Amino acid sequence: MSEFDPARHRSFDYVSASNDWVPWVSASIPGSLDLQVRRRIESNLKHILAGLEMKAGLIIPHGERLAGREVLYEPYFQSLIFEFCVGVYSVCEGIGSAHHLHNIGDDGSAGPRVSRARWTDALVAEYDPADVLSLRERVEIVQDKRDRLHQDSLGARDDIDWHSFGYAQAFVPARQALQPLLQAEIGDVPATTNLLIR
Give tens-digit pLDDT for 162-175.
677 889 999 999 99
Does 184 score more than 80 pLDDT? yes
- Residues 6+ away with beta carbon under 8 Å from 116: 93, 143
Give tens-digit pLDDT for 94-117.
999 999 999 999 999 999 999 999
Report helix, strand or coil for 109: coil
pLDDT computed for residue 76 by the predictor: 84
Query: Which residue has better confidence, 50 or 151?
Result: 50
Contact between residue 98 and residue 41 where contact means Cβ atoms under 8 Å apart:
yes
User: What is the model's pTM?
Assistant: 0.88
Residues 99, 97: Cα–Cα separation, whole Å: 5
Mean pLDDT of 147-158: 65
Give tens-digit pLDDT for 43-56.
999 999 999 999 99
pLDDT computed for residue 1 by the predictor: 34
| Rg of the chain taking only CA atoms, in angstroms | 17
Residues 155, 40: Cα–Cα separation, whole Å: 35
**Summary mean pLDDT of the chain:** 88
pLDDT band, residue 9 (cuts 50/70/90): very low
Residues 17, 15: Cα–Cα separation, whole Å: 7
